Structure 1
């Protein structure tokens, strides 16, 4: 177990990146355990059913701290830190949703307009683009299947957004438009096409220029097709598992063609950057107050209420937090959350597991409730 604590003075949010470090305190081992014992216990439990390593980065406007368990690379003793890079999976959806809301603010898109208005003859087959709205795509109430089968890679092995969306159109709907919230990666691929249609840019460039660069998130990136490597330092991702004392971990860090995930799950970030983005979003640095209010209008589904690119989840200590998690086959599971009063937490582990994705919320709850 490794703990670092930093006491900081807020000097201007800029996504949480413009924080001046006024002092760094490395407590004794006993003090570390006393300071964050409940969160460390939750993290240890999480890591025991997750990957070779796990870490949580948390705090508020006055203090930030990092706890770790296990290792960033199997076979080495290297704790995960807040500066290690990893694939954030479906946390990408929050960035995608924020860009769509910015386009709404600019008058280029209407939330309750049919997607057919902007992408003619794209949502077809078993679906009706005239009946599915932009809001429904954002809130997973479109009825689109979770994903499609049979998308064909290009000659270079990468995938075009239009081809990924085409492969969904023969899948059976999971509900009528607006009927219920059923998680759909496909809906966020359609939203990626929407961003490209309206901006005339590669969706990753739009996210970079509109969010990553203005907020000053140095560890956050959207890969171009064919780019698989993570910047140094990085968290190795694994599939496999453990039957103590035996372990089988297969390194999957660069094994996946990320254009397959695109605007639904391809991005990379760090614990510190993920927290900075969510803090900026909650503080009105990414979208307007009115847009944030739209994002926070929830319907039942999943863990807590499902909003537009975010979830609102009850805290065991009272109140709620805004959060999004991601599990991606590069072997990374991560979740980030923030409260209205400025508390934040971001957690990661280095294996692909739906159980770990669910358990990650317990670590966030412990950290946010300290």
Structure 2
């Protein structure tokens, strides 16, 4: 009877799973990465880019679908892309470098850095820089504001105003909850500490040493025609013109540049002496990104010594596109691994 109940329960649960996800998951694995991208386009993505850097092999570039759907411009594997929250990896590296140089302290509180916010952010006298980097501050996420993406504020201050004087989500360091507000505030702390924009610091200390000449801190720095278009299901307009300026996710880069950075992050070559130990104690070595019209996955796979970056330019409200992107990514990694084992 237990076995029958489990079977019935499993069958019932499938009724609530979109069949497009089931199809993407169970279909036979293609022989090549390019075939997998083509399959993903058939599942509804407008465009997709994949970059593979496996040790001992030349880097691989793949693309399918549209760079610009309206003008029928094919996807370009070397196009610029809004990498969204992958930006946080670069900000966290900057924090580690400045802590190592004794310009920042992970144990100083938000109130120490910004006394003027002490009465406007709950527990600011207990929230440390370390907690903000690790998303353990309890500060509400400004992008969770109802209707946020319908008309997002144009400035960091406008975004911050959405959560000022709001109760905390939890007491400091008691839970983990992802909050873009943490990195908005970290960016402000960096600027105040440096006396100039942290974007300049990231360029000088991270991008230039790695020859990342196709990575930018802001959309305003690039030729917009080189940016892959972004689309939202049910909305016709191209979203690439929407500018997200917050340090939590403002960067624009090619898949190759993200891959080179991620390799350097994981092998430690982005760090000077003492910095990697600090970084390892505060943040992760991979990330995903999500903005309207833009989804990205950046991970290093130790067992095959490969960095795999995936960009796709179609998002939706219900999250099906994100799930499809994750399925496609896992299948790309399987193809790379199978090829490596053969």
Q: Of the candidates 236, 243, 252, which is equivalent to residue 257 of structure 1?
A: 243
1:236 to 2:222 alignment: no
- 2:299–2:307 Cα contact (<8 Å) kept: yes
- 2:131–2:173 Cα contact (<8 Å) kept: yes
- 1:84–1:232 Cα contact (<8 Å) kept: no
Structure 1 ranges of 4+ moved more than 6 A: none
- CA pair 107-79 structure 1, distance change in 2 beyond 3 A: same
Unaligned segments of structure 2, at least 5 residues: 1-28, 147-152, 337-342
> CA offset at residue 266 of structure 1?
1.0
Q: Secondary structure at the match of 2:212?
A: coil
1:325 to 2:309 alignment: no
- 2:30–2:36 Cα contact (<8 Å) kept: no
Q: Who is 1:4 aligned against?
A: none
Q: Who is 1:68 aligned against?
A: 63
Q: Who is 1:286 aligned against?
A: 270
Q: Which has the larger radius of gyration?
A: 2
State the number of aligned residues: 296
TM-score for the superposition, normalised by structure 1: 0.71
- CA pair 127-334 structure 1, distance change in 2 beyond 3 A: same
Aligned counterparts of 1:36 and 1:344: Cα–Cα separation in 2: 20
> CA offset at residue 118 of structure 1?
2.3
The 5 Å alignment of 1:18-167 reads 37=31, 39-40=33-34, 42-44=36-38, 46-49=40-43, 51-61=45-55, 62-75=57-70, 78-122=73-117, 124-147=119-142, 158-159=154-155, 161-167=156-162
| Aligned alpha-carbon RMSD (Å) | 2.8
- Considering fraction of residues, name the structure with more helix: 2
Q: Secondary structure at the match of 2:314?
A: coil
Q: Secondary structure at the match of 1:338?
A: strand
Aligned counterparts of 1:135 and 1:363: Cα–Cα separation in 2: 34
- Considering fraction of residues, name the structure with more strand: 1
Q: Secondary structure at the match of 2:256?
A: helix
Q: Who is 2:16 aligned against?
A: none
